[in-house]
Amino acid sequence: MICWIAADRVKGHLRFPVFAVCMMAGGVLLAASAQVRKTVALDLGIGVDAVTRATPGNPKGLKPPHLRKEVKRKPFMVPRGVRNLALYKRATSSVKESVTGDVDQVNDGIKKSGEFDYVEFAGGHHWIQVDLGAVHRIHAVAIWHFYKNATIYNDVIVQTADDTAFTRNVRTLFNNDHDNSAGMGQGKDTAFYTRWWGELVDARGPESDGSPARYVRVYTADGVEGEAIRFVEVEIYGE
């Protein structure tokens, strides 16, 4: 059987796919249309009680050339039913021992930026990794670095892979290492201030049907003024 599949997108909805035509042995044609999937704005759960809202103004020190101008984020549309798959899943890191906190704090559901609400790593370029337990279609990765004091972290890179060692089917969703200082390739994404609303990485893909992944890594280097690497929370939204 040979099939031709057409995909489409309409305002506020996704089609997965819109129309399929299949030719069976003997030249028999079969046709089928798919259901339209309703999309909704992704809710990151950042209400007043969920985050630390008292974020100071912008730092007055160093600012990298690729720093993003802050504007209000538009609603991020995903299929209805998308949820945070990372919550309480197995989390690991590139360091044997953290400076403070534990790595499992990165997906414990707590997004506050208080004194004990983060895991801190010594200087360098380190990662945290979440094993989703099985392959899922992910639509977004939301990252909260320490934000009580707004910081610009260097070399933030988000990747997915099919194996825990990141040797098979490695895909880069986000890379703001503009000068390849991490040695993982020059990135085209922008640097950003850490804020209570988090950094949202788009994983929907060209057809807006999500990216298949089991393992997700978030790399981060020191802040632009030498601030320690501090992860507050990572959420992975998918189905």
Domain limits, the chain:
2-38, 45-55+78-238
The residues near 91 (Cβ < 8 Å, ≥ 6 apart) are: 103, 104, 106, 107, 128, 129, 130, 131
Classify 213 as helix, strand or coil. Answer: strand
Strand locations in the chain, DSSP E?
A: 2-10, 13-23, 29-33, 36-41, 77-79, 83-84, 90-93, 119-121, 125-145, 157-161, 171-175, 199-202, 211-221, 229-238
**Residue pointed to by tokens 């670095």:** 145
Separation between Cα atoms, residue 152 and residue 65, nearest integer Å: 12
Distance of CA 82 to the CA centre of its chain: 14
pTM confidence score: 0.85
Give the mean model confidence (pLDDT) for residues 10-20: 49
CB-CB contact of 106 with 229 (8 Å): no
pLDDT in tens, 136-182: 999 999 999 999 989 999 999 999 999 999 999 999 999 999 999 99
Separation between Cα atoms, residue 30 and residue 32, nearest integer Å: 7
pLDDT in tens, 27-86: 555 444 456 689 999 999 999 999 998 666 777 777 889 999 989 999 999 999 999 999
| CATH code 2.30.30.60 for 45-55+78-238 | no
Q: Counting every residue, how long is the chain?
A: 239
CB-CB contact of 59 with 225 (8 Å): yes
- Is 17's pLDDT higher than 60? no
The pLDDT value given to residue 10:
46
30 or 87, which is more confident: 87
